[in-house]
Every structure is written in structure tokens, then in C-alpha cells.
Structure 1
Amino acid sequence: MEMEKKLFEAAIEGSVSTLKTLIQKDPLILDRITSLTFFHETPLHVAVLRGHLEFTRALLSHNPQLATESADSLGRLPLHLAAAKGHLEIVRDLIRVCPGACLARDKDGMTPLHVAVAKGARVEVVSELTRSSPESTRLRVDGGETVHHSCVRYNNLEALKVLVDELPVGENDNINLLNARDDDGNTIFHLATLHKHLEMIKYLITKPGIQLNAVNKNGLTALDLAENAPRDMQGLEVLNFLLESNTQRPTNSSSSSSSPAPNKALPSKSIAAQENNAGANNTASRAKSWKRFFTFDGKNHLEKFRGEIFIVSAIIVLVTALPIINMKV
């Protein structure tokens, strides 16, 4: 076991010379390492976590199976760790040795691409994983979410841009991925609105083919989610932007999650008329959004609570007057 201990110490330090010495003394040490230790992690896991590129290359040259045959206690291959840490050159070497590792899932069902997005790794790593395995962009994690959903959930706009703008798939496939739905019927536009990621909403609304008025399984569009969200300045900014962008509710009962309304960035008026009325429309939209701040289900909160406020006031006056009445009695 002393040799194995020295091997792990060498992995921690990134000492290639020590690795070579140990292999000279015991040529089979790397073949036996996974069965001789109580840990799931291999020296390759350790070297990848530490970012030791040359040590990683030395291990792979002697035993490339380490890249795929051994997962750690969380089911992660070395490629998962390299992606999470953003070690671009190590990612490339691991993919070169075993491209299939791009599709491997850890115990949470996440591929290296999902992990890179969730951990906010360098966009170059996301790009490398995407180009090496376009198929990984179609795999879903728990809840039926694609990696595009993960970009929105973790507010990783730069990663989303890589997936949308650089993904080597056909135009129709790209549109399908943009409008893919999770188990709740939410598209990434729904999710961006729900999490109030305004910059991501502004980016998505410019992409051709995205369905701004899609309906989820609860019959809600992105605009519905914005209107029913807790009221704060961030939510109000999102709502105001959606109103100005002319996102809509379903217009009739035939609208469903399987046939969402198409993307309409502007209402169907003549260009000249739109230019003449742009200022008035923007002012009306802003006024409408402020009005909606006090509105829910078409009823004005101030009108709704006027009677209640009067009743509460009357009770307060009565309670205040009771001691005086008792004194007189």
C-alpha cells in the first residue's frame, strides 16, 4: 500500500517524475490502483481536480481506461470534474481519449456539459463539449430539463449563447431545442421569466423561431407568469419589457401546450403607423404595467380592499372608545 500512497501524493503534487519512478518499480500499479484502495477516486480524478495537465497526460498515456472505467463516489468521471473546474486542455485530452465520456451521467443524471453550465465554467469548455458531442445537448436531467433549461436556471447567459449560436445542428433542430419543454411544459422562455432574468429574456426574444407565447401545462404563458409573480422592481421590469414586446396570453380555447402561438415581436400594423405611434404605445404600456402592479385577475386591489379598510378602521375606533364607555358606565 505504500506505493499506492506515494502515487496519490504524486497526483496531488502533479509530480510526473515520481509517477515515472513508481511505474518503473511496479509497471502494473495503474492497472491495480482502483481495486487496491478504499476510495472511489483514482489518481486521475485527483490530478484533474488539481489541474495538473502534464500529470494527467502521463496517466492517460500509460492507462487510458482510467478516463472511463472508474467513477468517483458521486458517479463522476474525470471529464465531469474537468468540466466543472473549467480546465480546457484537460477536457480536450479526456475527450480525445474517450469521446463517449461526454454522454456519461453522474448520480444526479448530469453529463459533463450540464455540470459545466451549472458550475459556470469557461465558455470555451462549454463550446468544446458541445462541438465534441452535439448529442449531449439533447439529453435531459431530472424534471425533463435540457441543458438550455440549465443555462437559464443557473443564469448562465454566455453558455446559452454558445449553445444557440455555435451548436452544429440544423436550423430546425436549433429551434426545437429553444422551444423544448420540461415536464411542466415550461420552455426556456417561461423559465427565464419565472426567474426574472431580464438580460436572458432580451436575448431570447431576438432569436428567430422562439415561441414567446407558448403555453405550459398550467395554461400559462411567460406573460402570465410575470403578472402573477411577487411584485418587486425586478419583476416589474420584466413585466414591462414583456408588455412592450407584445407577448400575449392564449387568445382562445384552441391554444395548448402542443400548439403555442408563434413569435410576434410587433403587432400587425403598418410600419409607418407603428413609427408614428411608438411613443404613445410605449407610454401606454408603461402605464398599463404600473396599473397591473395593483391588479390581479382583472380586479383593482384598491377597490377590493376599500370596504375592508373601512371595516378595520371602524373596529379600531370601537376598541379605542371601549375604555371611555366603561368609565362612564
Structure 2
Amino acid sequence: MERVHITTKSKRYPLYLGMNCIEQLDDILREMQPAPSSILIISDEAVAAFHLQHVLQIISNERLVHSYVVPSGEKEKSFENYYAIQTYALEIGLDRNSVILALGGGMVGDLSGFVAATFMRGIRFIQIPTTLLAHDSAVGGKVAVNHPLGKNMIGAFHQPEAVIYNTAFLDTLPEAEWRSGFAEVMKHALIRDEAFYTWLRKEIPTLSELRGDKLLYALKVAIGVKAAIVAEDETETGVRAYLNFGHTLGHAVESTMGYGVITHGDAVAIGMRFAILISEYIYKKELHAAELSQWFFQYGYPRLPAELDTERLIKKMKQDKKAYSGSIRMVLLKDIGEVEMVTVPDETVRLVLEEFRKREGLS
């Protein structure tokens, strides 16, 4: 088992990484001060079916434990579910010494964290990610719900007490979820770690290779990239925005198609390929966009959906959290391992989107 310390300006907390590190949960709860007065486990239907009973059996004082299960899918990261969980928390008598356990993928972690951040103005919570994608979302304390006009637009910064990344939970993931999560692993390599990028190209030719020691290594390095950036900029006033590489178009694709129609990772993969192409245009530099696109395609990432027209996507991109005074701001790739935030004129976005559509075979 690996133990990584996540350090931010507001808090330092451990991340446990390993095949059976979920067994640490009861000890973590016992050591918390003040002692938890009660525990609420929030999960979704798919994850709960596989893992909820296992987690319940680990916690020694079961009389203090409650659970709330939401339907599965990104569209469930909604204000309606947020409100329903808050109501349930009040009904069962959670108080300021209670602890929330987020058992699930990124949707559950974000939703649970936002509940914790706002219940009685903030209570403790623990992230227990169950997907590859959540190696990114479970670290750093960004919690939120979606709005029809934009992804993660209503939220807060609320750091967990701990992250327990039990990699055995990943064994139940379908192929699409492995692919979705791997997109964020690729992102971490592209924005900050050229050596890791080279390792991924060599050692992970297919997603089936991402198992065992290779999985642990990839997660440790990717989480390390995220942790280092969060330590430098907890509340996204500077370099933390670099973690949004690929997300400007990616979030626009998700929002336009409807949450859950395309996975987050598939959308971000489209967004990263577009960001690389527009980076070539802005920097007048060969970044091998075609070759990098083939790297994405070898894992089965999709092309830009044909039904998404340029003007509609630009409108959505202007609603992105990074937008400023109606201008599109994107994280662009200067080189492998080096990115920066750039304000991109609408005409440039439009021009490169049209070129991107041609390369995707859409026009």
C-alpha cells in the first residue's frame, strides 16, 4: 500500500493507494477527532450493488451508519439529488461532528463533497473513489453539481479528510469507464510530465495493460501531478486551471449532448485533441497533432459527434468557468509537459473548429 500526502493551503491529508487499502477505513474513522457522531455513506446504484455491503462490514460501529443511494450517471449530479440528500441528512440527525463517505466515481464524489461542504456550513468527508477517472476528481477538494447551462457551475472548494483509493474496486469497471479514466491520466502526462508521457506511450499500448504494478505506477504519478499543482494553487487562481486542459471543448460537448450521453473522459479526449490542434495554430509550431490523435484513437476514443455544430459549441465554450468577459480562455500545449492559459479570439476558435471537423471527417 502506498501513502501519499496531499498538501494544500487549507489542509494536509493522506491518500491511501493499494489493492486492499479500504481495510484502513475503520482505523481512519477511529482516529478522527472529534470522533464521528454518525456516518452517511453516499453512493450510486451501480457502485452500491458491488461495494456498499463490503464498506459497511468494515465499519465497526454500524449503528451510527446510514446510507443514501442515488441513480447512476452524470446527469444525477444535480441540484435535485443534492437537495434530497440534504433533506435526508436532516431527517436522520446528522450534526457538525458527522462524517460523509463518498463511495463512487467522480459524480458521487463531487455530489457528496458539495453536500458535505454546505451541510451546517461544512462537515467532514472522506473520498472513496471506485473508478479510474476519480483519481483526478477525488484529489484537490473541488466539489459541485451540474446545471443545464454548464458543468460543475455550482460548487465549492472543500478538502476531504482522506482519500482511500482501493484499486481492487476498479476490477468491476466496464471498458468504457477504463477509457474514460485513462483520458485524465493522459492529460496529467501531457500538461506536466514528459517522462510519464513517454512511459505511457511505451508501456500502455492498450487499456488491458493498465493493471497490476503498471496501474499502481500510473496512478501514483498522475495523482502526484495533480497533488503538486493543487499544493501550488488550491483555489484555481493560477496554475490549477492547467488541469482543465481539454475541458473547454470537452465540457461543451458534454453539456450540449446532455450529461451522461458521452462519458467525461471521452469528451475530454476530444477536447484535448482540439486543444493540441489550436495550440499548433496559435504557436505556429509543429506539435504532431495528427500523431497524437492516433494515440488517442488506439484506445478507442471517439471523434467529435457529427450533430454538434460549430456555433453551438462556441456558445457553450463561452459559458465555461475559465471564460472572462465573454472571451474563451483555453489551456494550450506549448510542448509535451508544458501548458499555459490563453485567451483565444472567437474567430480563431471558429476557424480551428472547422478544420477540426474536417479532420474528423464531418465536413
- Fold conserved (TM > 0.5)? no
Give the number of the structure whose residues are more often strand, by fraction: 2
Give the number of the structure whose residues are more often helix, by fraction: 1
* TM-score, scaled to structure 2: 0.29
From the CA coordinates, give the structure whose radius of gyration is larger.
1
Q: Which has the higher contact order (CA 8 A, sep 6+)?
A: 2
* TM-score, scaled to structure 1: 0.31
